[in-house]
Amino acid sequence: MDIDTLCNQMMEDMMKSAVLNQRNLTGRAEDSIQMQEEIQASKALAAELCEAIRSGSKFDFVKTLKESAATNKKRVSSIVFGQVSSEGNTVLHMAANHGKEEILELLATHVPQLMTMRNNKGDTALHIVARNGYIFSISILVNCYKKHFENKLKKENEEALWRMRNEDGNTALHEAVMANSSTVEAMVGLLFEEDKNVAYFQNKEGKSPLYLAINQNRNDEVARLLLQAPFLNKENRQGSFQLPAPAENSGLPNDSIKLSEEIQKSKVLTPALCEAIHFGSIFDFIKALEETAVTDKKYISSIVGQVSSAGNTVLHIAANHRKVEILELLATHVVPQLITMRNNKGDTVLHVVARNGEKSSLSMILNSYKKHFENKLNNKNNEEALWRMRNEHGNTALHEAVMANSSVEVAGLLFEEDKDGAHFLNKESKSPLYLAIQNRNNGIAQLLLQAPFLIREKHQGSSPLHAAILAENSGPRIKHFSQPSSASGRAAIPNKGVN
């Protein structure tokens, strides 16, 4: 029988046994100052047991525990559960504090109830290992807890180990974010995976793990990870925040007239939030968002649903000012519902990014939409599909991309989603194809000419032929549109494309 098996068997037997035989203790290991202080202060736990934990050998610990029970004529269970140091630390707290993984795992496996016990500061063993940066100890405790407390793993259960708070209101995730350790990112990842909502739990100072990650500027990757948490309908996001004072002379630059007007006209969205989107990073935006929630005493979910007097949501504003990270945060992780919202001019965010010619943002919006609104994509001709939605001028996003003289790649992303869109007519009866020819954008015109062309009610109005006649150097275009149709019912496409 190997040592591990022997220790596990001994521990299991002792937890079931009555009074154990007395045995003499042998030897005493040299101890650290911290451990000596704990031993001196200990009112209940025997010095030998504290030393055995400090030594790190689970065999020595089990042997000492057995001998202590025999010497004091007590059950092992009464020592393990009933005896604590003056700080209220159980044997599990001590093993956690000293990073003794073998003893920690032994106790968590055979005496799982210890995992939910708190010391005088309200800390569980999970708080302690997170504070100390012990990544493997976190893994041990989380796995053992899930094994033994399956009934407490129901959604929103405040008794779950990773939701338990100490006297400062901190969860283990708070402690992990604040830890001065190289393992912060890995620890946060482990705890975040168990319960993403905890990223927004606020301690007694009103600070969430996400707030701490951003405000302390410890690790951008930690903040980016926590930003993936579900964002809406969390009451525990309110609280007080201590944000850095705004910089002096932080007025708007001369080239920001448009933003200045939007801030001045804004009826709902605060100037601070608008400025944070335009001038700041993704972290500045989150700070402003949480601060606004506190100042206005509103849920963050209600704030991200607010609009300016122009009807622009935070998503419209982020798109308009080309804030790619904020745009991705909102559209992908936070409130994908904003993707389909229109401003006062009927523009969705897709209209805005198409008009700006932002290929990466356009691709991200399309992917997020397809991920979150799959039900709207079942019907091929669904007019509610994002790329078919029209603004007050009757323009789709493809119209806007063509009129803005965007790249072929930008137009191609929209065209790939719905080729029929090349012939959709706006209120001036102009299709994207018509506009491409009219604007002499040969690349986009050649792309859009690949769309099915005939037997479309939407083709009435100003046709591509009209555009060819009106455009300069129209000869080659007229020649193209005058060519006989192919057997498939499409206009034949010349090899050289549109000149």
Note the pLDDT tens digit of each residue in 119-134: 999 999 999 999 999 9
* Residue pair 319/360 in contact by the 8 Å Cβ criterion: no
- Give the pair of three-digit tokens for residue 294: 């506190």
Q: How many helices (H) and strands (E) does the chain have?
A: 27, 0
Model confidence pLDDT, tens digit, residues 288-333: 887 777 677 666 666 777 888 888 999 999 999 999 888 988 887 6
| Average pLDDT of every residue of the chain | 75
More confident residue, 286 or 437: 437
Burial, 7: exposed, middle or buried (Cβ in 10 Å; 0-12, 13-18, 19+)?
buried
Q: What is the mean pLDDT of residues 198-223?
A: 80
Q: Is the pLDDT of residue 334 over 60?
A: yes
Res 479 pLDDT > 60: no
Q: Higher model confidence: residue 101 or residue 372?
A: 101
Q: Per-residue pLDDT for 40 more than 50?
A: no
Can you give the pLDDT at residue 320? 92
pLDDT grade for 18, boundaries at 50, 70 and 90 = very low
Q: Residue 277 in contact with residue 258, Cβ under 8 Å?
A: no
| pLDDT on residue 372 | 83
Of 7-11, 32-36, 80-84, 424-428, the range with the lowest mean pLDDT is: 32-36
When pLDDT is averaged across residues 84-99 and rounded to a whole number, the result is 90
* Phi then psi dihedrals of residue 101, to 5 deg: -65, -40
CA distance 41 to 433: 83
Q: What angle do CA 343, 345, 347 make, to 5 degrees?
A: 60
CA angle centred on 483, ends 478 and 485, rounded to 5° = 135
Does residue 251 carry a pLDDT above 90?
Answer: no
| Cα–Cα distance measured from residue 38 to residue 118, given in angstroms and rounded to the nearest whole number | 17
